[in-house]
Each structure stands twice: as C-alpha cells, then as structure tokens.
Amino acid sequence: MKFIAPVEKNKTYEVTIEDLTYQGMGVAKIENFPIFIANSLPGERIEMGVTKVQKTYAFGRVVKVIKESPDRVEGSGVEYTQTGIAPLQNLAYLAQLKFKQQQIQNLLNKDHLDDIKVDETIGMENPTEYRNKAQIPVRNVQGELSTGFFRRNSHDLIPIEDFYIQDPVIDKVILQVRDLLRRFHVTAYDERNNSGVIRNVIVRRGYYSHEIMVVLVTRTMTIPGQKALVEEISKIDGVVSIVQNINSRPTNVIMGPKDNVLWGEAVIHDELMGLKFMISAHSFYQVNPVQTEKLYQLAIEKADLKGNETVVDAYSGIGTISLAVAKHVKKVYGVEVVKEAVQDAKLNASLNDIENVKFITDKAERQMAKWESDGLKPDVVFVDPPRKGLAPEVIDSIADMKPKKIVYISCNPATLVRDIQLFSDHEYEVTGDIQPVDQFPQTPHVESITVLTAK
Ligand SMILES: C[S@@+](CC[C@H](N)C(=O)[O-])C[C@H]1O[C@@H](n2cnc3c(N)ncnc32)[C@H](O)[C@@H]1O
C-alpha cells in the first residue's frame, strides 16, 4: 500500500517544536511524521510552511512564531543558522548546555537506562571565536571567487567574512587568501562540471603558538601563478606552513590523499595540557583547545591512575591522550588509522621526551584483536572514537582483555548509548555520572566522558 505523508508541500500547519536534530534543526511531529525546521527552538509553537516532503520526513520553514521560547536570544547573523555553522546561536548559552545534558539523558531513558545519570554540561566562559581550524569552501558567486559556507542541504555558497565561532585571526587570513586568489586569477572549483582549481581553503592556528598553516585544496595538480601566490601567502602574519592538498575526484570529502608542502614547514606547533604538539595537515586535532584541556584532564582524573598501570588509547590521533596520560602510568599503547597522525604522535612523544608510549598505525578493530591475542592486559582503556562509535569487534576485544576501567570519550550520544549496552552484555557497567563537556558551543554537537567498570 502506498504511504501517504500527513503533510503536503506548500501548505501551512501549526506545530510545537519537540526536539533539535544533530544539525540543529527544530523537530515537530504530525501524526508521528517528523518535520525538520531551521531556526526553531524546542518548546516553540509556530506556523510552519512545508517546503519538501520525503518518504519518512519533511522539511519546513517558520512562517510565524506563535509562542516564542523563553530561551530565544537575539542571533548574531541569519547566515549562521542558514548555513548550519552555528545553528544554536539564537538559544541562550545556559539553555544550550542544558539541552546537551538532556540530549544524552533522553537517549538513555529511551533505552530504559534511566538509572544512569548525566551531569551538568561543563561550558565555556566565552562561547564564541573558539575554533582553531576552518575548512572553507571556495566557489564562484556572481562571477567572483568567494569564500563562505554552503546553505544547508545545498551546495550554494553564502559568502561569509566573520564566521563567529572561529578564531578571528583565522577569519582574517581566509579573507587575505581569498583576495590573493582573486588577484592572481585562480579559478574557483565548479562541482557541476568538475572544473576550476581551488575547492577549499583550510586554516589552522595554534592557540598558544599562534603559528598558522594554510592548506589550499585543489582539484588540479598545479596552481596557475603558484610561485607568486605562495610568496604572497607566506607574507601573511603568523603563516609558517603552506600546503597543497590535491582532491581531483567529484566528492563531498574535503581532502584528497596527497599533500605537497609549498612553503615552510609541514606542521604547526601548539601546546595542550603543558605538552608540545606538532600537527600536520591531515591529522585530527580537537578544534576547541580551551575545552579539550578540560575534557582530557577530566578523562585522566576519572581514570584514577596510580602510576603502575598499562593503558591503551584507542583512536589515538596525534597522541594527545596517550602523551598526557604517559607520566601517570607505566606504559601506554596507542592505535590510530591515519598514518600521518601516528607519525605526528611519535614525533610528539620525542618532542616531549616521553619514552613509555608505543603507537601503531592500524584500524582499532584489527589492532585491539591483535593485542588481545598477544596477551596484552591493560588496566585502563581510553576510547575516543569518531561519530560512528566503536565497532562491535573493538568492544569484544576490550572485554576480552578485561581492563578494570574503560574511559569512553564520545562525540555522539546515540552511538555512546548503543555501545554502553554492548559493554553491558560483557559485564561492564557505567559508574558515576556521564560528564558532558561543551566542545562546540552554538552547535548541537555533544561531547562527553563515561566511565565503565567491570561488574
Ligand atoms: C575523535 S578523534 C580522537 C583523537 C585523539 N584522541 C586526539 O586527541 O588526537 C578520532 C580518531 O579516530 C581515528 N579513527 C577513525 N576510524 C578509526 C579506526 N577504525 N581505527 C583507528 N582509528 C580510527 C581518526 O583518524 C581520529 O584521529
């Protein structure tokens, strides 16, 4: 039987916003059919116009706000909600923190895990201009090479100069690079026919060091006028590294596999938790250094280390957790799939004169099983996986190694809750409260720390 959606395109309906999606869109339901509406907040009663109907959901827009949320605040710019850069900018910061705490609690409750409690989210004192990295698409807008961000669910570029949640020095560098690209007539990527040269400009800036890396992501192997362009970019205050990343395929993935250092160093340096770090173009590095220090410090405190432990750091990136934990334990083993990140991790160990860590390049799925079959018996396992959470094999291997404690740092509460249940099948239970730490103010992303111990 053909399913008929309970809403029709272009019609208007009165609805109450019940939740927010991961992208920060309000969710209303009509006969249990979800409708996603940008710029609407939980608790608001609105008149909504349906803009698109799909099989299992629809999109709508706010026609009129009938009852406004008491937590709504004046936003700083409509483009931040239009693009999804900072979709929660019109929700008061304290309400954002509450929302994140509640988001995890709701998911637990839904799966009948309401005995597990979530603590108040640890927020930022100044919750804007925090990002140390920008990945900015470059496209032609009205015949001119422009930088900005895509309108939600589209690839239409909205030109933006002040990105609100980024280090303002980074915003300035993006404009300087944009102006140089214009001056040297470098063409912007056009994805309709896979033509043009520059796809993205990526800028990273060390929070303490103030060193800047500029990555030009190009479709082509060469950049017309490259020598003069690179020379001018190298004169921008703070730039120590200019890298070209080649991504010739028609894909939404930002970076291709190959990097060429065009000028200066292949890395920037920064500090975190009193340790020195080198970060290359391809390596994951947490984007909010102020909150990362709180997050990892707290994760280490929660591990309650005594000094003689063996520790595994799964999904170890450039070794941030491994190196911070090394001075508290006997030995650390890290595993990470990105080769460049592992190279950085090894260099970072010697940069900090740390000798009791061993980093392996591999998938956690494979390496954890190998360590388990080799008889490795860690006392504590830290996991800091990407959004998709832990592969079931990783959970099996951890359980077979029988650590006393697992410290789970999660950037996605849905996969966290799923994995808590899988660990529970292996006789591991959550001890203490789950602690959210706001790594991404003005956005709905939720980061948290959970401790699991053997029952
Ligand atoms: C949230 S980050 C953790 C970063 C790390 N704790 C740090 O501070 O640098 C997740 C990391 O997992 C890595 N990764 C993704 N899939 C993986 C897999 N299957 N096995 C191992 N590492 C993986 C990513 O490259 C990324 O560095």
Mean pLDDT across 297-318? 96
C-alpha of residue 279 to centroid of ligand 1, in Å: 14
Task: Tell me if 283 is assigned to some domain.
Answer: no
Q: Which of 280, 315, 333, 388 to mutate to test the pocket of ligand 1 (most atoms within 8 A of CB)?
A: 315
Rounded to an integer, what distance in angstroms lies between the CA atom of residue 80 and that of residue 82?
A: 6
Find out whether 442 and 164 touch, Cβ atoms under 8 Å: yes
Residue 330 has a pLDDT of 98
Q: Which atom of ligand 1 is nearest to the CA of 313?
A: 6
Q: Which atom of ligand 1 is nearest to the CA of 284?
A: 27
Mean pLDDT of the chain: 95
Query: Is 434 designated active site?
Result: no
Same domain, 155 and 217: yes
End-to-end CA distance of the chain: 49
Mean pLDDT across 258-287? 93
Mean pLDDT across 304-333? 96
Same domain, 249 and 309: no
Mean pLDDT across 304-308? 95
Nearest CA to ligand 1 atom 6: 316
Same domain, 436 and 337: yes
Same domain, 177 and 245: yes
CATH code of residue 58: 2.40.50.140
Same domain, 358 and 303: yes
User: How do 133-141 and 58-67 pair as beta strands?
Assistant: unpaired
User: Which of 272, 302, 320 is a domain's end point?
Assistant: 272
- The pair of three-digit structure tokens given for residue 104, joined into one six-digit string: 């995890």
Residue 239 has a pLDDT of 98
Task: Tell me if 432 is assigned to some domain.
Answer: yes
Q: Which helix (H) or strand (E) holds 300?
A: helix 289-303
C-alpha of residue 320 to centroid of ligand 1, in Å: 11
C-alpha of residue 28 to centroid of ligand 1, in Å: 34
Nearest CA to ligand 1 atom 9: 317
User: Which of 72, 91, 119 is a domain's end point?
Assistant: 72
> Mind listing the pLDDT tens digit for each residue in 368-396?
999 999 999 999 999 999 999 999 999 99
Say if residue 365 is exposed, middle or buried (CB neighbours under 10 Å; 0-12, 13-18, 19+).
Answer: middle
Task: Tell me if 370 is assigned to some domain.
Answer: yes
Q: Decide if pLDDT at 2 tops 80.
A: no
Q: Considering 116, 180, 212, 411, which one is annotated as catalytic?
A: 411
Same domain, 211 and 255: yes
Task: Tell me if 123 is assigned to some domain.
Answer: no
* 3-class state of residue 8 by DSSP: coil
CATH code of residue 188: 2.40.50.1070
Same domain, 265 and 297: no
Share of the chain above pLDDT 90, in %: 89
Same domain, 335 and 265: no
Q: Which helix (H) or strand (E) holds 7?
A: none
Task: Tell me if 306 is assigned to some domain.
Answer: yes
> Is 130 labeled as ligand-binding?
no
Find out whether 119 and 435 touch, Cβ atoms under 8 Å: yes
Question: Count of CB atoms within 10 A of residue 194's CB?
Answer: 11
Query: Which residues, 6 or more positions from 227, have their beta carbon under 8 angstroms from its beta carbon?
Result: none
Mean pLDDT across 233-245? 98
Which protein residues are within 6 Å of ligand 1, measured from CB? 284, 286, 315-318, 320-321, 335-338, 341, 363-365, 384-386, 411
Same domain, 294 and 223: no
Same domain, 303 and 365: yes
> Mind listing the pLDDT tens digit for each residue in 149-184?
999 888 999 999 999 999 999 999 999 999 999 999
C-alpha of residue 136 to centroid of ligand 1, in Å: 22
Mean pLDDT across 252-276? 94
CATH code of residue 351: 3.40.50.150
User: Which of 224, 243, 272 is a domain's end point?
Assistant: 272
The half-sphere exposure of 387 on its side-chain side, counting CA atoms within 13 A, is: 3
Mean pLDDT across 409-431? 97
> Mind listing the pLDDT tens digit for each residue in 179-224?
999 999 999 999 999 999 999 999 999 999 999 999 999 999 999 9
In one-letter notation, the amino acid at residue 153 is N
pLDDT band at residue 81 under the 50/70/90 scheme: confident
Mean pLDDT across 13-34? 92
Cα–Cα distance list, 313 to 191, 193, 339, 379 (Å) = 39, 43, 16, 11
* 3-class state of residue 100 by DSSP: helix
Same domain, 388 and 438: yes
Task: Tell me if 232 is assigned to some domain.
Answer: yes
Residue-wise burial string across 413-425, b where 16 or more C-beta atoms lie within 10 A, e elsewhere: bbbbbbbbebbee
Higher pLDDT, 214 or 38: 214
Q: Which atom of ligand 1 is nearest to the CA of 338?
A: 25
Residue 82 has a pLDDT of 79
Q: Decide if the complex's ipTM is over 0.95.
A: yes
Domain that holds residue 194: 133-272
pTM: 0.90
Q: How many domains does the chain have?
A: 3
Task: Tell me if 280 is assigned to some domain.
Answer: no
Mean pLDDT across 73-89? 83
Query: Which residues, 6 or more positions from 330, have their beta carbon under 8 angstroms from its beta carbon?
Result: 307, 308, 309, 310, 356
- The pair of three-digit structure tokens given for residue 149, joined into one six-digit string: 């961000």
Say if residue 449 is exposed, middle or buried (CB neighbours under 10 Å; 0-12, 13-18, 19+).
Answer: buried
> Is 384 labeled as ligand-binding?
yes
Task: Tell me if 157 is assigned to some domain.
Answer: yes
Nearest CA to ligand 1 atom 5: 317
Find out whether 298 and 437 touch, Cβ atoms under 8 Å: yes
Residue 281 has a pLDDT of 93
Same domain, 295 and 267: no
Q: Which atom of ligand 1 is nearest to the CA of 341?
A: 27
Q: Decide if pLDDT at 283 tops 90.
A: no
> Is 259 labeled as ligand-binding?
no
Q: Decide if pLDDT at 338 tops 80.
A: yes
Q: Which of 271, 275, 284, 370 to mutate to test the pocket of ligand 1 (most atoms within 8 A of CB)?
A: 284
User: How do 310-314 and 380-383 pair as beta strands?
Assistant: parallel
Mean pLDDT across 124-132? 97
pLDDT band at residue 273 under the 50/70/90 scheme: very high
- The pair of three-digit structure tokens given for residue 287, joined into one six-digit string: 């984007």
Residue 1 has a pLDDT of 63
C-alpha of residue 386 to centroid of ligand 1, in Å: 6
Q: Decide if pLDDT at 72 tops 90.
A: yes
